[in-house]
Copies of this chain bind each other. A is one copy, B any other.
């Protein structure tokens, strides 16, 4: 993996017009990407949501997509009949293993290629074979169905997910939720170093004996690595290497808050990284034996699907089963909800401000936001396309 340590220090608050113009240019693509980036793989559903051959309608980057497993393969087609534009998922009709039939007039499409193969209300229609639904490339791994949104030839999944996610020994489990905030609020909250402040009373800290500071002071030489010459492209923050942890906070010389995890044993979040098209990796988290992955997948301009996924290296089926049991009995409530639900509230709190385009010029970033500035620049310079707003 190619890597280049970033050495230049970018001022987080710029007042001169020239500086503002340069800053805007360097993040222009990111500001435009209200619906995310095209030509990437995105998680669309957990495999178990497609169990029993049932079809599922999902919405990604403003596109309605229908998913269905056909034998070993999972297929994805546009969730909109070509005839009168209704969504198949309003009333699912699957008569055969590899077709979807529209509930309105019986237009029936083959899932593998999207072709109109029959119209039940006019058998032998001259339209048969002449129309085809848009199909989406699909790949499924680690219990997650990924869909490719874009017009370019899809590349390897490994180029579009955080490092290690596809490691063979890594067992995965997780949840996803609807959040009322633009996807960039999700990405920036997740990658934001000092937002740990909002988690200072989280039950996870005593619950898993976590050493967690209130904040982090960056040293003179930022420990941020930017990966822009290889795939996946991302920004990695060496949090424990380059920051001074803050365990006590004072106002006017009077101590007002203390980290509850200062004397705890478990060291976590040594590295936090974000990867195109918008996926986080916190390593390790929420336990020295686990890694947390997150995706912030645009639904519409004002909403995103928040994926919270844990990975654990396991040696065989028994360890894998134990991990899933542990996930459901312990980590789902203690870590994913008990800790990350606060992040949902923080993103929704930012949305009111950042939904106004001018907000991006009105914000005042501080030194620890350097990682966010790097992420915005990377995304602006190295994306494969911007999803247009319909």
A169 within 8 A of B: no
Chain B residue with the shortest CB-CB distance to A99: B251
Contacts of A350 in B (CB 8 A): 84-86
A217 within 8 A of B: yes
CB distance A195 to B359 under 8 Å? no
Q: Which of B121, B126, B192, B194 is in CB contact (< 8 Å) with A215?
A: B121
A246 within 8 A of B: yes
Please give the distance in Å from A114's CB to the nearest CB on chain B: 13
What 0/1 readout, one digit per residue, does chain A (206-224) give for beta carbons within 8 Å of chain B? 0000000011111000000
Contacts of A368 in B (CB 8 A): 121-122
Q: Which of A34-42, A104-112, A263-271, A327-335 contacts B (4 or more CB under 8 A)?
A: A104-112
What 0/1 readout, one digit per residue, does chain A (122-137) give for beta carbons within 8 Å of chain B? 1111110011000000
CB distance B257 to A120 under 8 Å? yes
Chain B residue with the shortest CB-CB distance to A368: B122
Residue positions of A touching B, CB distance < 8 A: 12-13, 80, 82-87, 90-91, 95-96, 99, 101, 103-106, 108, 117-127, 130-131, 192, 194-198, 214-218, 246, 249-252, 254, 256-257, 345-346, 349-350, 352-354, 359, 362-368
14 other A-B residue contacts (CB within 8 Å) besides A95-B251, A104-B197, A119-B366: A13-B130, A85-B350, A86-B349, A87-B349, A90-B349, A91-B345, A101-B256, A103-B198, A117-B252, A120-B251, A121-B216, A122-B216, A123-B249, A131-B364
